[in-house]
């Protein structure tokens, strides 16, 4: 297939479903900016206040690990939660785009539940390497 024809087909598909794509992106941004980011900031602030930590920097990491091991563990758990949320966001967007492209169920609740179910298949090693399933998938167009 020529590049020109592929671009024409891709743009046609996008503009045919532009409202669904726009809704998907706006909903994700609203959820992130109005719920998840403020919640993560608040949790971080609470951890720092309860453990009497004035700030976190590369200059006080040694002190933090040796003097505040519970806070270090709490912050590491929070970092893992944030990584899982990033994975969920990526899954949500991919599943939403796939649903739009293939005219599957486009309801945001279904896409959200599918993305949450995909967290169940998440392995700890997935945070450090690209999963082979993602590499073998064909392009969306």
pLDDT digits (tens, 9 = 90+) for 30-40: 999 999 999 99
Residue 3 reports pLDDT greater than 50? yes
What local confidence, expressed as pLDDT, does residue 40 receive? 96
Look at residue 122 and give its three-state secondary structure.
coil
What local confidence, expressed as pLDDT, does residue 140 receive? 44
Q: What are phi and psi of 18, to 5 degrees?
A: -60, -35
- Work out the burial of residue 28: count CB atoms within 10 Å of its CB; fewer than 13 is exposed, 13-18 middle, 19 or more buried: middle
> How many CB atoms are closer than 10 A to CB 83?
14
For the whole model, what pTM was predicted?
0.72
3-state helix, strand, coil in the chain (%, to 5): 80, 0, 20
Q: What are phi and psi of 38, to 5 degrees?
A: -60, -35
pLDDT digits (tens, 9 = 90+) for 57-110: 999 999 999 999 999 999 999 999 999 899 888 888 888 888 887 777 667 777
pLDDT digits (tens, 9 = 90+) for 107-132: 777 777 777 777 777 666 665 555 44
What local confidence, expressed as pLDDT, does residue 80 receive? 92
Sign of the CA dihedral with 46 first, then 52, 53, and 54 last: positive
* Cα distances (Å, whole numbers) of residue 136 to 47, 126, 132, 133, 139: 41, 15, 6, 5, 9
What local confidence, expressed as pLDDT, does residue 127 receive? 56
What local confidence, expressed as pLDDT, does residue 129 receive? 55
């Amino acid at each position: 297939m020529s590049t020109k024809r592929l671009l024409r087909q891709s743009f046609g598909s996008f503009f045919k479903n532009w409202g669904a794509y726009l809704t998907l992106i706006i909903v994700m941004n609203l959820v992130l900016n109005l719920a998840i980011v403020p919640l993560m900031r608040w949790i971080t602030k609470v951890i720092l206040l309860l453990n009497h930590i004035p700030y976190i920097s590369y200059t006080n990491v040694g002190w933090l690990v040796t003097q505040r091991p519970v806070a270090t563990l709490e912050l590491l758990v929070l970092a893992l939660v944030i990584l899982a949320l990033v994975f969920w966001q990526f899954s949500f967007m991919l599943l939403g785009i796939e649903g739009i492209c293939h005219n599957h169920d486009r309801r945001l609740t279904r896409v959200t539940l599918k993305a949450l179910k995909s967290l169940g298949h998440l392995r700890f090693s997935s945070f450090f390497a690209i999963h082979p399933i993602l590499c073998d998938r064909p392009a969306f167009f």
